[in-house]
Each structure stands twice: as C-alpha cells, then as structure tokens.
C-alpha cells in the first residue's frame, strides 16, 4: 500500500544479461565476457553425455568439430582424476580378493541327493497340455 503522496517506484531494468550467450545465435565469447553470463562449451549432445559420465570439463578441451565444437572423438583420449580413482579402487579390490583366496581357509560342502521323484514329476508336468515347457 502506498501512503498519501507516494508514487510507485520505477522498475530497474538491467541490460547486463539481456542477451545471454546461446540465445538468438550469439556465440561471440567477447559478448559472453561483457554480459557476465558464462558461455556454455560448444559440444555435440553425445560429447556432452560422455563428458558427464566421465566427469570431463568440456571447457578445458579444444574441439575438432565445426566451429571448434567438442565431438565424441575428442573425448576418447581424455582421462580424468575420477577415472584413475575408479581404476585404483578396482586394483585395490582385486588385490584384497586375491589375498582372501590365498590366505583364508576355504571349505566346500558336497552332498548327493536323490532327485528321481522330482524328475518324474517334472516330466509329468511338462506332458500336460496347456503348460509351457
């Protein structure tokens, strides 16, 4: 509510983010720096998916696609810290599994069971019409 004699303040219009990068085809990096809007790396959808799975920063790669876009082939040789950590985890898991098989005593239980009644029941059940088998 406004008191007597007050007027509605004019809204402040900012032009800094008026044309974000990628809207209306604007791909000039100088415009992105001037507007303060971070530029999204130019990449194919497949390259974006692979980069997200591998934890690769697309902005750090130089693309070989049209207009310098990152394509899936550019990601083939890239290795990240996340991948080396995963391979380290697998290495440690393999070492501990091997050690367990070598140092822990194992035993095997073997029993013979007469399953002739089960086999005859199965044969009779398969012979009935309307059953799968």
CATH architecture of the domain with range 23-103: Irregular (4.10)
What is the rounded end-to-end Cα distance, in angstroms, of the chain?
80
- What does the pLDDT look like over 35-88, one tens digit per residue? 555 667 788 898 888 888 888 888 888 888 888 888 888 887 655 555 555 678
pTM of the model: 0.33
Every domain of the chain and the residues it spans: 23-103
Select the more confidently predicted residue: 29 or 75: 75
């Amino acid at each position: 509510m406004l008191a007597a004699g007050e007027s509605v303040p004019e809204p402040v219009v900012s032009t800094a983010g008026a044309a974000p990068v990628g809207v209306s085809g604007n791909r000039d990096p100088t415009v992105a720096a001037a507007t303060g809007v971070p530029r999204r790396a130019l990449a194919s959808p497949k390259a974006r998916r692979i980069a997200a799975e591998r934890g690769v920063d697309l902005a750090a790669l130089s693309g070989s696609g049209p207009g310098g876009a990152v394509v899936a082939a550019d990601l083939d040789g890239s290795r990240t810290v996340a991948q080396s950590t995963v391979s380290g985890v697998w290495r440690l898991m393999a070492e501990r599994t091997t050690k367990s098989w070598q140092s822990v005593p194992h035993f095997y239980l073997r029993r013979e069971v007469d399953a002739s009644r089960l086999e005859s029941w199965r044969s009779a059940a398969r012979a009935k019409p309307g059953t799968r088998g």
